[in-house]
Amino acid sequence: MNIQASGRTAAGLALDGRAPEPARPLSTNGYLSGAAVLALLTIVLCYGLAGATLPAGQPLRVLLGIVLPAAVVGGPLLVAFRRSKLSDQEWETGDHVSARVSAARSRNASIASLGLTGFIAVVSLAGLLVFTNDGAVQKTFFNGGFMAKSAVDIGRALLINVEIAVGAQFLAMVFGLVLAIGRLLPGTGFWPVRALSIAYIDVFRGIPSVVLIYLVCFGLPLTEVPILSEGDPIVYAIVALALTYSAYNAELYRAGIESINKSQTSAALSMGLSQPDVLRFVILPQMSRNIAAPMLSTFIGLQKDTALVIVVGIIDAFSQAKIYSANDFNLSAVTAVCFLFVLITIPQTRLVDYLLARSSTRKRGI
């Protein structure tokens, strides 16, 4: 019944000789409305920020708070509105292709306006929070005088953090590789080694780093065991962090080794290579490329955890900043430590992105 009705309808359209009405372009009203509301909110925030930073009655307050933001955010919004109107006119005149193109351009301009105004709104809101109430937040956390006063001593103390991070990462990478190989040893004869490796990884991944630092740095000297109890606190901190992060690195190594097709191991063994040679010349080189980015991400986390050594009295960057903050009754020195850590980690995060992109390109064969 339905098929016959459909056939009659199609035949009727064909006999009538009229083509079906084409669908109108997607509406841009939602984009335009959202962009207009966000633009208005952005102008309000910019005016509030100008009022918090500039004295009343100055022309710059109106210029920077209303005129300049309106000109910046209004440009893409005006383009989007004009493209939308043009799309409606072209549709009414029967130029359907041009109408769809104009509608698409209107949506693109609206999205660009949303992105630009959203960025300006977030920056303005952050600035308003910092400079409101006579700049109370700025004076407490971002006082340039206190930052400059403590910068030299904090920079020197930061070398302690770098020393701990590099030493702990080296030990964690070596010991983590041993743990990963021990966990992957085949055969029933190696089950005790596998069980021990798994137990270590599970236990030390579950212990908070700050607790382990406290136990190692305060506990080993109390044992009065020769050599073990006579170490430097920085060495104890390196060992404590290495114990924790070797467990994480072991899982990275294991994932990297297991990502390599087992046929490569079989082919290498069939060519006469021994198992250690297969691991050295076939598995480890490929594994290193696969886990380079995740390993660097773990190292970034290790760098931040070096600030935990404050609990055992090591004068690192954070400890030095706390001394200045206590003397000045101001936290700008601690904010300076945050900036230094960010400056150290940002290049590394960009390197991680590059390594991930290169690995993805290699896998696609481009």
- Ramachandran region of residue 14, left (φ > 0), alpha (ψ -120 to 50) or beta? alpha
Instruction: Give me the residue label for tokens 């760098």.
Output: 303
| Cα separation, 252 vs 285, whole angstroms | 14
| The token pair that represents 3 in the structure block | 């098929």
Give the pLDDT confidence score for residue 6 in this predicted structure: 46
Give the pLDDT confidence score for residue 212 in this predicted structure: 94
Identity at 153, one-letter amino acid code: D
Give the pLDDT confidence score for residue 7 in this predicted structure: 45
Identity at 234, one-letter amino acid code: I
Give the pLDDT confidence score for residue 15 in this predicted structure: 46
Rounded average pLDDT per 10-residue block, the chain, 366 residues: 46 52 79 88 89 80 86 88 89 87 90 90 91 86 91 93 95 94 88 94 94 93 84 93 95 90 85 84 84 88 93 92 92 93 90 79 64
Q: Residue 102: exposed, middle, or buried by beta-carbon count in 10 A (0-12, 13-18, 19+)? A: buried
Which stretch of DSSP H or E encloses residue 142?
A: none
CB 127 within 8 A of CB 51: no
Which stretch of DSSP H or E encloses residue 295?
A: helix 284-305
| Cα separation, 357 vs 154, whole angstroms | 35
- Domains in the chain (CATH in brackets) are 25-133 (no CATH), 145-364 (1.10.3720.10)
Give the pLDDT confidence score for residue 8 in this predicted structure: 44
pTM of the model: 0.78
Question: What digits encode the pLDDT tens for the residues 199-257?
Answer: 999 999 999 999 999 999 999 888 888 888 888 899 999 999 999 999 999 999 999 88
**3-class secondary-structure state, position 260:** coil
| Cα separation, 47 vs 50, whole angstroms | 5
CB 279 within 8 A of CB 257: no
Give the pLDDT confidence score for residue 168 in this predicted structure: 95
Give the pLDDT confidence score for residue 197 in this predicted structure: 94
Give the pLDDT confidence score for residue 150 in this predicted structure: 92
